[in-house]
């Protein structure tokens, strides 16, 4: 036996044996022999032809979609599951794969029940256990054929095909002498007291649900890309001709009343009735056998893909063709359970819905693939349209609702539940599907649309660039950046390598891989960026100006606070400080995070509702930026339920209540919920004392003569130790919190030098 890790062997079946025959034999099933006459007799030939046309339209449109996907991929085992999983991803593929395996395994039992009922009627047996015994024997016989492998099943299919052709030929020879144009015209109209159209449609529709049986044999085909479209179209086209021809023969050789009441009208009209008996038996057995071949191969493909741990044992195969015998055992057990359970009308409705859902997803997958406009989508089959595929997906949903709303909802709910389970519990897919291409195409369209619109203040979002070379401190910066981004913007983390020469490319690639893995490990959604340069000072300015794309340009830089003494050799006089100055003058807001181990640990020990953010109020751009970022932090689960407090020193005129009222009015204008507190006395340490028990503090800063000052002119460095986690903030942009939608002014980062002039001097 092969293992789950081994590559599946190349198939040996051609178009005729691998696709055309199983598809045709499943379509020309028991509905053709026992139900087509009822359809015509119940609603008349005109409506019957409409039913046939609509049902076959579903199969034709879906066949076009299947042909497009199949000729764009190297199709391996798994049929519908493989096509959907490689296009829509593991979740949809796994859900449809599990559901289709179950549907086809249950269908084996149903077909065998139909075989048993026809056989019991022919030989004159009665009683439920007689039929169940015959059906169980049929399951056992078909199990033996499926166990032997696809080659043996193919030989059996040729016998079935011969019996079907003989039965149809006998019917044609018997019906043509009895055919009259007057009877045809009389049967065109709908009879009195005709049943509802969709009820009769539901009786007929299972006839066309077998056209993807050949797709399920994809792993046994020599050339799937050629065999699947060619064999499927041939089977659908020929079966459609057969159904329409039989319908015209029925309508001209018998009355509607006889057809509606006599399920064995085809036997009565046949030249040799015994051929009809053989045809019915062949039709039911052929449909059951096709499902017995298709269902195990779906499960085997899912096991090879390791969709779920429980499915791994089914990946094994026997012999040169890797026959999925373990999956055959499971399919046989399900079919035998169905046979012994007896009447399963509700499950039968669900099975039809599952097939329709799979057809709808196949159409949707084709539209999805084409809509993504991926350069990799180059199907050799050109006769398809993405709009037709989308219409096919919508049409399948409409047919489901028209047939049985309750069954449609039930089938969709089951598929959705399995999809969620597979998506959440399955291992990551080891293949490339079309989802990323689709998202990239959407990004392109939305970026072009956003670029065409003028930028306005109410559009402002934090586009954050994190600078860090220290892995330990970087985790805090990333967490903080994710908080202030608040689900409204994007975060990028950049590492700058001072490298030049041939080794720079290799080291840069290795550093980016390491950074990407680090982000994955800590669960960050930040985008990694590694830049190699021979001149760090020049690189910072280039990165700030070029990071992002289109309207998604970086507007906020986040760095760690560099603890320095108050000497002239302070932050803005060294290399790092010069780079910050460059970023600021280029219109980038600056956020410096001061958080030592003890402060960060204390913050993490607090529950979100126990946390409080203090905002040291300063009128102007920096004050507005601090308010907005603090508000965005509340969107995070880490700050859900936390409180905002705006604090300020009293004004020079000493009117603290007036200042508090002005701040409260400002908060109402910008729709931010926060309490306001103004210190009663102007002491240099008053704000530091007040905010000691906060969880996080937003503090404005400026630099004069190489020294850092808070917004009220107090030197920062010597007092930071008494505060909790602190964010030193300096705005280079006006975020315009009131954001009047009717404001005509185009608000961007503005002129960098103007931003610099409006901020405290350095």
Looking at the DSSP bridge assignments, the partners of residue 318 are 323
Q: Which of 553, 511, 502, 556 has its CA nearest to residue 530?
A: 511
Q: Is residue 461 in some structural domain?
A: no
Q: Do 222 and 367 belong to one domain? A: yes
Q: Do 430 and 554 belong to one domain? A: no
Q: Is residue 8 in some structural domain?
A: no
- C-alpha 140/C-alpha 143 separation (Å) is 5
pLDDT at position 752 over 70: no
Q: Do 61 and 179 belong to one domain? A: yes
Query: Which stretch of DSSP H or E encloses residue 651?
Result: none
**Per-residue confidence band for 746, with pLDDT thresholds at 50, 70 and 90:** very low
Last residue of a domain, one of 387, 402, 435: 435
**Per-residue confidence band for 682, with pLDDT thresholds at 50, 70 and 90:** low
Q: Do 422 and 568 belong to one domain? A: no
Mean pLDDT of 468-485: 86
Most confident by average pLDDT, 38-42, 198-202, 339-343, 442-446: 38-42
- C-alpha 500/C-alpha 477 separation (Å) is 28
- C-alpha 75/C-alpha 500 separation (Å) is 45
Q: Is residue 548 in some structural domain?
A: yes
Q: Do 41 and 164 belong to one domain? A: yes
Q: Which of 212, 191, 242 has its CA nearest to residue 36?
A: 242
Angle at 647 between CA 490 and CA 606, to 5 degrees: 60
Range 637-647 burial, b when 16+ CB lie within 10 A, else e: ebbeebbbbbb
Looking at the DSSP bridge assignments, the partners of residue 493 are 466, 528
Q: Do 427 and 303 belong to one domain? A: yes
Range of the domain at 594: 534-758
Q: Do 148 and 282 belong to one domain? A: yes
Instruction: Note the pLDDT of residue 79.
Output: 75
- Describe the crossing of helices 536-546 and 575-585 by its angle, rounded to 10 degrees: 30
**Per-residue confidence band for 456, with pLDDT thresholds at 50, 70 and 90:** low
The percentage of the chain sitting over the pLDDT mark of 70, rounded to a whole number, equals 87
Q: Is residue 489 in some structural domain?
A: no
**Average pLDDT of the chain?**
82
Q: Is residue 453 in some structural domain?
A: no
Q: Which of 392, 416, 419 has its CA nearest to residue 93?
A: 419
Q: Do 217 and 351 belong to one domain? A: yes
Q: Do 430 and 553 belong to one domain? A: no
Contacts 24+ apart (CB under 8 A), 429-432: 429/85, 429/89, 429/90, 429/305, 430/305, 430/306, 431/85, 431/86, 431/305, 432/86
CB 213 within 8 A of CB 22: yes
Q: Is residue 476 in some structural domain?
A: no
Looking at the DSSP bridge assignments, the partners of residue 549 are 552
SS3 144: helix
Q: Considering its fold, how many domains does the chain have in total?
A: 2
Last residue of a domain, one of 435, 467, 500: 435
* Matching residue, tokens 């919508």: 394
Q: Do 740 and 617 belong to one domain? A: yes
Q: Is residue 455 in some structural domain?
A: no
Q: Do 322 and 195 belong to one domain? A: yes
Write the pLDDT tens digit of every residue in 485-521: 888 888 888 888 877 777 788 888 888 888 888 888 8
State the DSSP string of 296-335: HHHHHHHHHTTSSGGGGGGG--BTTTTB-HHHHHHHHHHH
Q: Do 26 and 164 belong to one domain? A: yes
Q: Which of 447, 449, 443 has its CA nearest to residue 373?
A: 443
Residues found in the chain: 762
Last residue of a domain, one of 411, 435, 459: 435
Instruction: Note the pLDDT of residue 271.
Output: 94
Instruction: Note the pLDDT of residue 706.
Output: 61
Mean pLDDT of 357-361: 86
CATH classification of the domain holding 285:
1.20.1740.10
Q: Is residue 469 in some structural domain?
A: no
* Matching residue, tokens 């979740």: 91
Burial class (CB in 10 A: 0-12, 13-18, 19+), 268: middle
């Amino acid at each position: 036996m092969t293992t789950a890790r081994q590559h599946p062997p190349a198939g040996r079946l051609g178009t005729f044996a691998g696709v055309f025959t199983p598809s045709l034999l499943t379509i020309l099933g028991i509905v053709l022999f026992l139900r087509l006459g009822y359809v015509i007799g119940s609603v008349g030939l005109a409506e019957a032809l409409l039913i046939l046309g609509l049902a076959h339209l579903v199969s034709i449109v879906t066949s076009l979609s299947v042909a497009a996907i199949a000729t764009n991929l190297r199709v391996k085992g798994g049929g519908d599951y493989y096509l959907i999983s490689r296009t829509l991803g593991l979740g949809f593929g796994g859900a449809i794969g599990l559901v289709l395996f179950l549907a086809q395994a249950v269908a084996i039992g149903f077909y065998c029940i139909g075989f048993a009922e026809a056989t019991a009627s022919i030989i004159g047996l009665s009683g439920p256990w007689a039929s169940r015994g015959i059906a169980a024997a049929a399951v056992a016989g078909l199990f033996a054929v499926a166990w032997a492998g696809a080659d043996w099943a193919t030989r059996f299919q040729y016998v079935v095909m011969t019996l079907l052709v003989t039965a149809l030929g006998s019917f044609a020879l018997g019906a043509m002498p009895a055919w009259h144009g007057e009877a045809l015209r009389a049967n065109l109209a709908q009879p009195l007291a005709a049943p509802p159209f969709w009820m009769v449609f539901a009786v007929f529709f299972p006839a066309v649900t077998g056209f993807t049986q050949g797709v399920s044999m994809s792993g046994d085909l020599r050339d799937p890309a050629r065999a699947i479209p060619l064999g499927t179209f041939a089977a659908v086209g020929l079966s459609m001709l057969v159904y329409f021809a039989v319908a015209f023969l029925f309508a001209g050789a018998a009355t509607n009343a006889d057809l509606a009441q006599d399920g064995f009208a085809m036997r009565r009209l046949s030249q040799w009735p015994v051929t009809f008996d053989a045809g019915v038996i062949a039709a039911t057995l052929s449909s059951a056998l096709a499902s017995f071949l298709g269902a195990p191969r779906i499960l085997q493909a899912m096991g090879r893909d390791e969709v779920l741990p429980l499915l791994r044992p089914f990946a094994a195969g026997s012999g040169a063709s890797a026959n999925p015998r373990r999956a055959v055992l499971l399919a046989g057990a399900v079919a035998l359970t169905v046979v012994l359970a007896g009447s399963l009308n509700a499950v039968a409705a669900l099975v039809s819905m599952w097939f329709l859902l799979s057809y709808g997803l196949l159409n949707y997958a084709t539209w999805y693939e084409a809509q993504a406009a991926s350069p990799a989508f180059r199907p050799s089959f050109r006769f398809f349209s993405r709009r037709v595929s989308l219409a096919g997906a919508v049409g399948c949903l409409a047919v489901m609702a028209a047939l049985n709303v309750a069954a449609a909802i039930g089938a969709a709910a089951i598929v959705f539940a399995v999809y969620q389970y597979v998506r959440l519990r399955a291992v990551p897919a080891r293949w490339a599907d079309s989802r990323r291409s689709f998202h990239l195409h959407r990004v392109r369209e939305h970026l072009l649309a956003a670029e065409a619109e003028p930028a306005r203040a109410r559009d402002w979002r934090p586009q954050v660039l994190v600078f860090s070379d220290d892995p330990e401190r970087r985790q805090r910066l990333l967490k903080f950046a994710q908080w202030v981004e608040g689900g409204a913007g994007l975060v990028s983390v950049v590492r700058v390598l001072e490298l030049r020469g041939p080794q720079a490319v290799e080291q840069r690639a290795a550093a980016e891989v390491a950074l990407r893995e680090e982000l994955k490990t800590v669960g960050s959604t930040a985008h990694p960026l590694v830049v190699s340069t021979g001149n760090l000072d020049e690189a910072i300015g280039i990165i700030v100006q070029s990071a992002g794309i289109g309207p998604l340009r970086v507007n906020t830089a986040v760095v760690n606070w560099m603890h320095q003494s108050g000497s002239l050799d302070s932050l803005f006089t060294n290399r790092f400080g010069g780079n910050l100055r460059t970023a600021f003058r280029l219109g980038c807001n600056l956020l410096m995070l001061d958080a030592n181990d003890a402060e960060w640990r204390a913050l993490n020990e607090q529950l979100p509702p126990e946390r409080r953010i203090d905002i040291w109020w300063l009128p102007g751009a920096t004050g507005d930026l601090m308010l907005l970022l603090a508000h965005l932090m509340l969107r995070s689960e880490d700050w859900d339920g936390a409180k905002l407090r705006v604090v300020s020193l009293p004004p020079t005129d000493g009117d603290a209540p007036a200042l508090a009222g002005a701040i409260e009015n400002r908060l109402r204008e910008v729709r931010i919920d926060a309490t306001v507190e103004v210190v009663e006395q102007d002491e240099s340490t008053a704000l530091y004392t007040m905010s000691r028990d906060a969880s996080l503090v937003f503090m404005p800063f400026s630099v004069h003569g190489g020294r850092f000052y808070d917004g009220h002119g107090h030197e920062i460095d010597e007092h930071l130790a008494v505060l909790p986690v602190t964010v030193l903030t300096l705005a280079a942009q006006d975020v315009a919190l009131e954001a009047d939608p009717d404001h005509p002014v185009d608000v961007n980062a503005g002129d960098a030098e103007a931003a610099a002039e409006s901020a405290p001097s350095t």
